[in-house]
Amino acid sequence: MEAAQSSSGREKAVLTIEQQELLLQQRLESTHFVVSKQSREQIIQGHIDKALKADNQRQHAASPALYANSVYRDFYIYDAYSRLFVDNDFDGFYQTFSVTFDADVSGAYVNETANVFAELYLSRNGGPWEHYYTTDIFTIFGDATDDDYEVLTTLESGYTTDHYDVLIDLYEVGYGDIVATVSSNDFDSLYALPLESRYWDEEYIEIETEHGGTMSQWGILALLILGLTRRYLTCRQPH
């Protein structure tokens, strides 16, 4: 993908056709872009409560867990970075951006696999973490480098023009606890993203004006009026 450097030094990228189609589909579905403004604490507690409820149901039903893996495994996020895409008014703040991360797992087997999902948060200018996206469930394979996950987002509303940090919490399906987390404290590319809602990013329209050797319509009209006035005065002079 071709990319150019923005004025802030952060990578500015060009949307591929596939990414444009994805954004259009997401906008039509309007499922992931409802601004919940839930805090990180609320999301974490929600996952804990859900896991406890599922565990109680399994105990009452005397059935094994459908997803939970009893073997202890280590999870970590090896890499994470962001890219900036759409800035219609060229003010240096973007409505569309992506966060890509590579999650890994290690355990008893060489080619360990795990089903996971992630919760993503934004922090405005060092403020509290607010939830903005939940990924689908996806599978990671050991320390493979080709199983990274990209979240492409357009901020529709609710985000004032400012700098935002990113935090990623990784969960294993079937468990309520976070298995790995990274943020702007771990990767510079997740720090101080210049973002704003699409509402604030109106398309810039340049109005071309002609200079030197040409004359505007108002100038031509003024000369025409002046010419007619002189002709009228000439006609009124006595012969």
| Model confidence pLDDT, tens digit, residues 8-39 | 446 688 989 988 888 888 777 654 444 567 99
| Three-class secondary structure of residue 141 per DSSP | strand
Percent of the chain with pLDDT over 90: 51
Evaluated on CA atoms 180, 181, 185, 190, the torsion sign reads positive
Residue 103 has pLDDT above 80, yes or no: yes
Residue 6 has pLDDT above 80, yes or no: no
- Residue 222 or residue 7, greater confidence: 222
Distance separating alpha carbons of residues 227 and 232, to the nearest angstrom: 9
Q: How confident is the model at residue 197 (pLDDT cuts 50, 70, 90)?
A: very high
Please report the beta strands in the chain, taking only residues with DSSP state E, as ranges in sequence order: 3-5, 11-13, 74-86, 96-106, 113-124, 129-134, 138-141, 149-154, 162-172, 178-183, 193-195
pTM confidence score: 0.73
Percent of the chain with pLDDT over 70: 70
Q: Let me know: does 124 contact 93? Beta carbons within 8 Å.
A: no
Please report the beta strands in 23-89, taking only residues with DSSP state E, as ranges in sequence order: 74-86
* Mean pLDDT for all residues in the chain: 80
Q: Can you tell me which residue has the tokens 């906008």?
A: 27
